[in-house]
Every structure is written in structure tokens, then in C-alpha cells.
A and B are shown apart, each in its own frame.
Chain A
Amino acid sequence: MNTLGRILLVEDDPKDVELTLTALEEYNLANEVIVARDGEEALEYLYSRGKFKTRSSGNPAVVLLDLKLPKVDGLEVLKQVKSEEKLRMIPIVVLTSSNEEKDMVASYKLGVSAYVVKPVDFHEFVNAIKELGIFWAVINEPPPGSVRK
């Protein structure tokens, strides 16, 4: 197996955080997960500022981004990341409850790498998270400047 890339999980709902981490743990993918609880925190992490001022350098291999977030919402985070030269290459996967077409269209227009609707069924959810984790953190060759273990 390849080295494990760092995952930035942007998710405000603690239950979703717990469930996602549980799913990743099952496949030993949870070690390198950083959790941001709203859009502002996500941007602070990516720009290494605020409470992430002293974090180790390097971009995450993938960002798992919820759309409905407090303060700065997911689409806004996406917009800022994609217009920033240092950050625009980071693969971003939208992971959301919404299967609304307009969200999907808006996300793809802003350049997301994938759009995943969280399945209601836990098995399907675990599978989806596992596959996302394995693909983006392990199989996919991330852009230069990403953190790998």
C-alpha cells in the first residue's frame, strides 16, 4: 500500500464527524484526518492562520467538504480555494446530504473533483467513505506540496 495522504474533513455536525471517522477507522484511514467544524476553520487550516497558524506545512491530499456549514458555507470555501494559486490544485470532494441538482451544478462549476451524496444506509455510507478515503488518500497521486506519511 502507498503512503497515506492527509484528509481535511469539513463538517459541522458532530454525529457526521463521528460516523465518518468511524467509517475511516474501520479501514485504518483515520490517523491523518483533520476536522474543521465550519467554513472559516477550513480556510484557517488551508491558509495556516488562526488556530492552525503553527500547523505543519503542506496541503491535504483531499478535502471532504460539506456544503451546509455555519459562518462560511461550503460553496464559498470552494470558491476561495479555487481562486487561490497555492490551493487550487487540492482535490476537493463534496460530501453532502443534498442531492439537489443546483448544488451539484454549482459545485462542478467551481471545479470539485467529485460530488458524493451521503447514503442513508450505514453500510452504503461506510462503503462510500471507505472508497473515498482509499482512492483520495492512498491511490490517487496528489499534486505536489501535499502531506504524505
Chain B
Amino acid sequence: MARSKLQLRIAQSPVLSYGLAVLSVSVALGGALLIERLQLRNITLFLFAIAVAAWYGGSGAAVLALLLSCIGLAYFLVEPSHSIPYFVLFALFAWLVSWFSSVRRRVEAELETEISERSSLLNLTHDTIFVRDMSDSIRYWNRGAEELYGWTPEQAIGKGSRELLRTVLPLPLDDIQAEFLRTGRWEGELKHTKADGTQVIVASRWSLRRDEREQPIAVLETNNDITVRKRWEQEIQSLNQELAKRSTELEAINKELEAFAYSVSHDLRAPLRHMASYTELLRKKASSTLDEKCSHYIQMTLDSANRMGKLIDDLLAFSRIGRTETQKTLFSLTQLVREAVTEVRDDAEGRNIAWEIGALPDFYGDRSMLRLVLVNLISNAIKFTRTRPQAEIEIGCAEGNSDDLVVFVRDNGVGFDMRYVNKLFGVFQRLHQADVFEGTGIGLATVQRIIHRHGGKVWAEGVVDSGATFYFSAPKT
């Protein structure tokens, strides 16, 4: 590199370059005149020998060649008394050549150190780096390249890079090349095939190297393996698409459901109402002529119509919970429990109930939905303690983890068999016969749906004839 720097300096400065020309010709002329004067022609072979020894052998060889030349000259060719100037000339020449030789060696050694230092630096990086010349032949191949692609520098250097790596370019090569030569840089994603045949995707950066005449001479290509990242990106993209598709589907289903609920609300209730009403009118008109059995039949028809009306109403309320947005605020749970207890007061009329309401925190959620949860759980507790002379209903806050709030409603009622606990929260699922404990089987399903919409859970514990406890949890914020 030092030599080429010197060359470059000389070439770039007119004074130096013309000076060099004048100097070298002057030296040649001086030398020619000297040779003419001393009739040196017959000694040029000795000079050549000394030069070869000094250039390739170093200073030791130069001294030996000098001595041998002097002895040979004095013994065979020239009178020893006349040979002194030749000795001086030989010595001068030998010294000059050895000096040049040592300078060359030093420069070469420096160059080598520099190159190996640079290579080892490039080998330190995790990036894949190689240099290719303008005919795409690989000139340098760092350790990162070896690690990624699986070819050693010996295997790679000299090969065409695109052929070796089976490069797949994002654009036609000509387009890339045109931009690259114009700007000296290019960045893009490439597909390469490794030595073991597997494909990698790399983020590739090219920089162009030019010589002193601005001619492109080499390309430094730095590649980063982004195969895994790309795979994740693709995965995320396809997941996103899937999600978008699902949410569109869900929206459509929701719309359908809404239309269905509307239809149930309107179209199913009307005939039911007509059945009930005409049966009622029939009873009224024919009451005097109907016997007890007929009256009973009519009563059963009316009961069924009313029950179906109640079912439709509850089912609609249940479906509405899934369709309406939750409107979350922070409110006092104690206050809400009090309201819920007041609301179900009618159910508790004439009953002996010991209420125990513990300290309850504030709750972050949809107040009217939570009210429905509490009303359902409390009215259940009242219903299923009906057979107890002294009913006990406890509402409180249980120990949960730090993020969740756990609220429970406990009673000493008829309880339930834990074997059927998974049926409790299903729509239309009932654990009691209709004529023992009335109900539509939608209350706890509604509770579960509301709590799920708040990101919480519901569960229950019960022992037959010893009471039940219903829990729900919800995030504190």
C-alpha cells in the first residue's frame, strides 16, 4: 500500500512526475558517459550478478558477491593496480541494491501486516462480508461469510458470487447495477442458498470501490441474515390477516345475531301473545260450562305461554349483554349490593333472612351489568334458601391475587352436587326440577357472560343440603 501511495502521489503531482522523468534520464546519461569513459562494458555481467545477489539474497549475499567479483576481476581481467575504481563502483552498486531490497522488504512486510490486521478485524464482526470484483469474482471472504454460507475462503475466493450463492435479486440485475454504479451504494433483500442447500434471506448492503481514475474495481458486500426475522414478520402478517378475516366474520355473525334477536323479540312474542290472549278469552266466555279438568287444561296452556314469554325475555336480555358495549366506570360495590338487595326485596318478603354484607371495595366496570350480576346471584341465594327456617346470606370480598378482585355470595340453602358444577353456568341448564325451584336457567349464564366481558372468571362451590358459594373475579383496573 505504501508503494502505491507513493506512486499515486507522484502521478498526481505534475512537478514530481516530470521531475522524475528528467532525473532518470539524467542518471542514465551520466551512467552511459561513465561506462564509456571507464570502458565498463565487460564488467556489466558482474554488476548484474551483484544486483541479483543483493536483491534476492540481502546484504550478506551482496557482500559475498562483491568480494567474489573483485577477486575474479583482479585475478582474471584487470590489473590489480587498476582495479580499485571497479571495487569502489561494485561496492557502491551492491550497497545501493541492498538498500533498495531492504526497503522493498520492509514495505512488503508492512503491507502484509496491514492486510492481515484488516482481515482479522473483518473476521471479528458477525456480519457476512465479502469483496467481489467487477466480473463478480469473489476476492475476499470473511469468517462471517464462512459461518453463514458454509464455504471456506479457499472454496469461495475466485468463484462468481451470484453463481455460488444462487442469488435471487428483488429487481432485474441491470436495474440494480445501474443504480449501484450511479450512487456507489445499494441496499436490499436477497435470497441466497447456503452450502448445505438451505435458503437464507439477507439484508444486503453494497458499496463500490473505485481506483484513482474513478473506475469501479470492486464491490464490498455486507449481508445480515434476516431469515428468522422475515419468518416472524410473515407469520405476524398472516396472523393479522387471519385476525382481520375473523373479526369481519364475527361482525357479520353479530349482525345476523342482532337481526335474529330482533326477529325473536318481535315475531315470536306476537303469536305467543295471541295464544295466551285467545285462551284467556275462551276461559272467560266458557267459564260457566267448563268442568274442573278443562279449566285445568286452559290454565296449563296459559302457564306455558307465560313461561315461554319469560324465556324469550331472558334470552333476549342474555343476547343483548353480548351485543352492547360495556361502559366502564369506578363505582362503590357496597352501594350496588345495597341496591341489588332492595331490588329483590319482593322475593324475600315473609322470609327470615340474616344478611351479612362485608366490606366491599370500589369496582371498575359496567355498573348496570354488574347490578344484573348481583341481582341474579342474590335472588338465587334467596330462592335456594327457601326451605330454611333461618336463611343466611353472606356477601363479601375474598382473598384473590393482587391484580384481581374476588367477590362471593354465600348461602346456607339446598346447595348442589359438585359433580354437576360445570353445568351451572350453561344456558338453559338447571340442577333443580322446575316445580321445586322455578327459573329459566339463564340467570347464571348471564352472570358468566357479564363477568367474562369484564375479563374475569366465575366459579362455584357447593355441598348438597349445606349451601353454595358463588364467586366472581375481575381485574382491579
Q: Are B281 and A97 in contact (CB under 8 A)?
A: no
A 101-123 to B, binary, CB cutoff 8 A, 1 in contact else 0: 10000000000000000111111
Roughly how many angstroms separate A22 CA and B316 CA in the complex, as a whole number? 29
A19 proximity list for chain B (CB < 8 A) = 273-274, 277-278, 281
Does B229 make an interface contact (CB < 8 A)?
Answer: no
**How far, in Å, is B276 (CB) from chain A's closest CB?**
5
**Distance in Å from the Cβ of A12 to the closest Cβ of chain B?**
10
Of A13, A22, A99, the residue contacting B265 (CB under 8 A) is A99
Complex alpha-carbon distance, A98 and B259, angstroms: 12
Query: A120 and B280: CB pair below 8 A?
Result: no
Given contacts A68-B266, A99-B313, A100-B262, contact A123 B274 (CB under 8 A): no
Interface membership of B378, Cβ < 8 A: no
Select A15's contact among B265, B274, B308, beta carbons within 8 Å: B274
Q: How far is the CA of A99 from the CA of B309 in the complex (A)?
A: 12
**B306 in contact with A96 (CB, 8 Å):** no
Please name the residue on chain A nearest to B310 by beta carbon. Answer: A120
Contact, CB under 8 Å: B270 / A125: no
- Docked Cα-Cα span, A120 to B270, in Å, equals 8
Q: Is B476 an interface residue (CB 8 A)?
A: no
Assess whether A16 is interfacial by the CB under 8 Å rule.
yes
| Docked pose: A60 CA to B473 CA in angstroms | 55
Decide if A16 touches B265 in the complex (CB within 8 Å): no
A16, A96, A120 pick with most chain B CB within 10 angstroms: A120
Interface check B97, CB cutoff 8 A: no
Q: Which residues of B contact A (CB under 8 A)?
A: 261-262, 265-267, 269-270, 272-274, 276-281, 305-306, 308-309, 313, 316, 320
For the A-B complex with A15-B278, A97-B269, A120-B272 known, give 12 more contacts whose Cβ atoms are closer than 8 Å: A13-B270, A13-B274, A15-B277, A97-B273, A99-B265, A99-B316, A118-B269, A118-B270, A119-B273, A120-B276, A121-B306, A122-B273
Please list the residues of chain A having a beta carbon within 8 angstroms of any beta carbon in chain B.
Answer: 13, 15-16, 19, 22, 68, 96-101, 118-123, 125
